[in-house]
């Protein structure tokens, strides 16, 4: 981690190459062609399984957990300043992740009520982003959500419920707008 830290802010081609080499050594698995931009940070990379051709934009942070798992599929593009609570996260192939978008995979139980919220137990819930989904700029995916294959999440949306395949959702909270052009849902 100290060696990664030496090159983390280096925007040069050499700095990015060194970050990729160190990241590959720390992670459980990293495919070919990973591109890590300046300022990318992470914790518990030993729980990461990263596919081929993944792009991690500047200042992205992936927060793993010692007993968790984070799987990012092939050809995933992650925009700058994104945040991942990657305690139980699977992002499938060809997902586009807009700049500043976030995924939360945990929340506090809030019980007992007499305790400060932050002192209560942490509940980890899996988040699944299916193949070819597109997550808009500054969208937030909440714990336990499944984003369906080929779906589109609008910019700034807060997704608290599962999203059907090929659906377009937007808003706070995110609501169904329509199906993607060319998609015919089965009745």
Note the pLDDT of residue 92. Answer: 98
- Verify whether residue 66 is a known catalytic residue: no
The DSSP string of 48-77 is EEE-TT-EE-TT-EEE--TT-EEEE-TT-E
* pLDDT digit string, tens, across residues 29-72: 999 999 999 889 999 999 999 999 999 999 999 999 889 999 99
Q: One of 108, 149, 158, 183 is an active-site residue; which one?
A: 108
Inform me whether the pLDDT recorded for 5 exceeds 90. Answer: no
- Rg over alpha carbons for the chain, rounded to the nearest Å, is 17
Note the pLDDT of residue 11. Answer: 72
Q: How many CA atoms lie within 13 A of 111 on its CB side?
A: 2
Confidence bin at 85 (pLDDT 50/70/90) = very high
* pLDDT digit string, tens, across residues 120-135: 999 999 999 999 999 9
* pLDDT digit string, tens, across residues 89-103: 999 999 999 999 999
- The Cα 143–Cα 140 span in angstroms is 10
Inform me whether the pLDDT recorded for 176 exceeds 80. Answer: yes
Mean pLDDT on 125-152: 98
Note the pLDDT of residue 21. Answer: 86
Inform me whether the pLDDT recorded for 169 exceeds 80. Answer: yes
- The Cα 103–Cα 95 span in angstroms is 14
> Which domains, and CATH codes, for the chain?
2-179 (2.160.10.10)
């Amino acid at each position: 981690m100290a060696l990664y830290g030496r090159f983390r802010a280096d925007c040069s081609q050499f700095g990015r190459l060194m970050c990729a080499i160190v990241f590959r050594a720390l992670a459980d698995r990293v495919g070919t062609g990973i591109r890590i931009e300046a300022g990318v940070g992470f914790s518990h990379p030993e729980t990461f399984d990263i596919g081929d051709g993944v792009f991690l934009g500047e200042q992205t942070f992936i927060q793993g957990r010692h007993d968790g798992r984070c799987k990012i599929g092939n050809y995933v593009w992650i925009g700058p300043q994104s945040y991942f609570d990657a305690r139980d996260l699977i992002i499938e192939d060809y997902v586009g992740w807009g700049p500043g978008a976030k995924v939360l995979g945990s929340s506090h139980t809030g019980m007992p009520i007499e305790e400060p919220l932050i002192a209560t137990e942490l509940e980890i819930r899996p988040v699944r982003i299916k193949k070819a989904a597109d997550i808009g700029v500054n969208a937030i995916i909440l714990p336990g959500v499944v984003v369906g294959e080929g779906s589109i999440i609008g910019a700034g949306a807060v997704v608290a419920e599962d999203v059907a395949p090929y659906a377009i959702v937007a808003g706070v909270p995110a609501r169904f707008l329509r199906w993607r052009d060319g998609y015919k849902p089965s009745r």
